[in-house]
Amino acid sequence: MHSLFIKILFSIQALLLVIGMAQAQDVKTPDGLIKYVVEDVLIVIKNDKAIQSGDFRKINALVDEKILPYSDFQKTTRMSMGRNWSKASPAQQDQITQEFKILLIRIYGGALAQIKDQKMQYKPFRSSPDDTDVIVRTAILGKGEPIQLDYRLEKGVNGWKVYDINILGAWLVESYRNQFNDQISKGGIDGLIKFLQDRNTALSTYK
């Protein structure tokens, strides 16, 4: 009996090792990374009633743990600001990046809370070994028409990172660039920070 238990234990450990190696291999390719992260997030959402009810603290924790390690959010913010990024001090850049992250989590948190029986479709992905900037195309399948959801990734010293997403034909960076430029033209960098803070305050009290 003891011998059988030891064999089962080693079999389980071997299986976990294989799964871990497969996951590690997945995140080395842009399409593998997207599939790994998306499936991991979907499992958490579908098993967490608090997230399904729109609990911002739980959604924020989910993003911090499962999504941010594979995202270059500073690049997302920098590209959204365009030429105005260099006008901000390092402290202002950090503040804008944080406020922008909170804003997007609040906006898309509602969408995350709606995920129940939806499934992901991963489109065929082609790239060359020398590519450092790619797009991985997916779609959300549920009731009604599929929802286009694409990811733009860049390869850096720490591997592939997502820095832009495309929902139904609208890229996030492009959508916010005009808003950011408009706020900066009205009130400077501090005006943009106040705009983001006010939006986050309004969304935090909205029921």
Per DSSP, the residues of 111-160 read HHHT-SS-EEEEPP----TT--EEEEEEEEESSSSPEEEEEEEEEETTEE
pLDDT per residue over 44-103, tens digit each?
888 888 888 878 888 888 888 888 889 999 999 999 999 999 999 999 999 999 999 988
pLDDT per residue over 26-41, tens digit each?
668 999 999 998 888 8
pLDDT per residue over 114-135, tens digit each?
666 778 889 999 889 899 999 9
Domains in the chain: boundaries = 2-205
Largest CA distance in the chain: 76
Q: Looking at the domain covering 2-205, what would its CATH class be?
A: alpha beta
- Predicted model pTM: 0.79
